[in-house]
Amino acid sequence: MPTKCSRPWQKASRPSAKQAQISPGSPQVSLPLPSVWARQALNFHPDEKQAEILDCADRRVIVLSSRQVGKSTVAAIRALYLAVSQPDTFIMLVGPVGAQAGEILAKARQFAAVLGFPLRGDGNNPRSLKLPNGSRLVARPAVPESLRSYSKASLIIVDEAAWVSENAFRAMSPILAAANGSLWALSTPNGQNGRFYDLWHGALNTNWTRFEIRAQDCPRLSPEFLASERSTYGETFYGQEYDCQFLAGGLQFLSRSQIEALLVPQAAVPGPCLAEKSEMYLGLDLGKRQDHTALVAVELTFQNGLKSAVTQGIPLLPTLTVRHVDRLALDTETLKIPRWVRDIAQRFAPSCYAPKQRGTVLVDATGNGHTIIELLRADHIPNYRMKPICISGGQVSHQLKDGYTSVPRADLLTSLKVAIEAQKLKLHAGAPGIDLLTRELRQFQPAGDQSEHDDLVMALALAVWQAAKDHPGLFGLKEPAPAFPNFRLL
């Protein structure tokens, strides 16, 4: 919007009767470029960035912007321009909640009043505008169930798209199919996950056209105001709200940079004469009605550290590496799970000339896991021990009967995060299924509010928790001294 007038449409003259009266079934109206039309018909003078976005005719547009730079106003003008120029057009305005989508509609209604159109709804939707030429603008919240009944949209504008769920984006996509419509996603950043984040960072390799508007690019935001916001609320707030920076959200388990740092091109190789100390930890998270049964195989290897000048001792440095990731399809038969686990475990069995591979299978026994545990016990995996884990919401771990252990969910996630922060956990980039795991890690939230499944993350947490119990050196603590029952230590 222009600097001198926050509501320029109030000063605009009314259009001619010929322009105002457009009846249904009218042919397509020839209009100048949207930025030119906004100046001439609406007395709205877009700045350079706004004009560039308004005039973009691409089918997929994503706008990353600061707060208060006029992106909603641009969206309203673009929607109204399409509605006026193409009769009987259906346009959807979507926001995280209905009130946010209604803000774009409210701006569109104000501009429609400047053009002399009667401000009436379509008779079906409470937040709507129907023009005399039959075009409709409908504002809806980003709730998948409330979007499914619509079709043939020529344009969908998603405001504050970083707060819109993956399921809502999926529900919107078929609405564009019949009309070969356009999709615009506009937002400030909101953490390092979600569909908007993925679209923005993948836009260079797809058919999306990107626009970025930082606060410093907006002539209506003074340097003095921005300096005050930075000093008052700090760099983190300023970076996300005004400088278009995707920062890890407070509910996010790991940042993108932390996850990228976990990836290594090759799996860790044990040091000389240390192969016999390697161990495998298999975390098995059993699926429920809508969740997958997931398994993550983690290998523990050791390297020799630097010799101590005082004791002449050589410390052992443990490292965990994810070697295999897999999950079963939903509704997989229960009887197939033990053989599936056994086959994955056998992939890491050494040759007959190598030391025997020791291992542990950690099984999520929460809910209906008892049946799987009994089947695994009956079909024992050689050189592997099995440990049933009941994941609880309590505070303390404790032993249960029949070899079961109750472990708080918070303890599992804490062990996983500490191992990552201590740089003791690595993800082999070439391991099967590693992309599935990294995707879940990006979306994972400890409270469980993420849109993705968390089965693989919990399977990984089970394996890491047991490895840390067996080897405190993963957390920087002293490894337990080896036991020599037939010798006396001098």
Domain region containing 349: 258-475
The answer, yes or no, to whether residue 487 has pLDDT greater than 80, is no
Task: Please answer whether residues 478 and 315 qualify as being in contact, where contact means their C-beta atoms are separated by less than 8 angstroms.
Answer: no
The answer, yes or no, to whether residue 203 has pLDDT greater than 60, is no
Distance CA 43, CA 35 (A): 10
In a domain, 449, yes or no: yes
Residue with more model confidence, 146 or 92: 92
pLDDT tens-digit series, residues 394-449:
788 888 888 899 999 889 999 998 899 888 999 999 999 999 999 888 878 776 65
The answer, yes or no, to whether residue 485 has pLDDT greater than 70, is no
Determine the pLDDT at residue 15.
42
In a domain, 395, yes or no: yes
In a domain, 3, yes or no: no
pTM over 0.75: no
In a domain, 426, yes or no: yes
Pair 149, 275 in one domain:
no
Pair 215, 268 in one domain:
no
pLDDT tens-digit series, residues 21-50:
444 445 667 889 999 999 999 999 999 899
Q: 425 - beta bridge partners?
A: 320
Pair 266, 236 in one domain:
no
Residue with more model confidence, 367 or 353: 367
pLDDT tens-digit series, residues 57-89:
899 999 999 988 889 999 999 999 999 999 999
Pair 220, 263 in one domain:
no
Distance CA 467, CA 320 (A): 8
The answer, yes or no, to whether residue 16 has pLDDT greater than 70, is no
Determine the pLDDT at residue 393.
82
pLDDT tens-digit series, residues 367-377:
777 888 888 88
Pair 166, 305 in one domain:
no
Residue with more model confidence, 235 or 355: 235
**Using only C-alpha atoms, what is the Rg of the chain?**
30
| Residue 480 pLDDT grade (very low, low, confident, very high; cuts 50, 70, 90) | low
Pair 424, 457 in one domain:
yes
pLDDT tens-digit series, residues 83-120:
999 999 999 999 887 677 788 999 999 999 999 999 99
Rounded to the nearest 10 degrees, the angle between the axes of helix 409-421 and helix 455-470 is 80
In a domain, 440, yes or no: yes
How does the average pLDDT of the chain come out, rounded?
Answer: 83
Determine the pLDDT at residue 474.
82
In a domain, 235, yes or no: yes
Domain boundary among 207, 241, 275: 241
Determine the pLDDT at residue 190.
85
Cα angle value 469/471/477 (rounded, 5°)? 100
Q: Which residue has the tokens 């161990």?
A: 279
Pair 228, 355 in one domain:
no
Pair 316, 386 in one domain:
yes
Total domains in the fold of the chain: 2
Distance CA 18, CA 116 (A): 10
Pair 317, 178 in one domain:
no
Pair 176, 232 in one domain:
yes
Pair 188, 275 in one domain:
no
The answer, yes or no, to whether residue 3 has pLDDT greater than 70, is no
- Any idea of the CA torsion for 10, 16, 17, 18, to the nearest 10 degrees? -130
Indicate which CATH number applies to the domain containing 368: 3.30.420.240
In a domain, 60, yes or no: yes
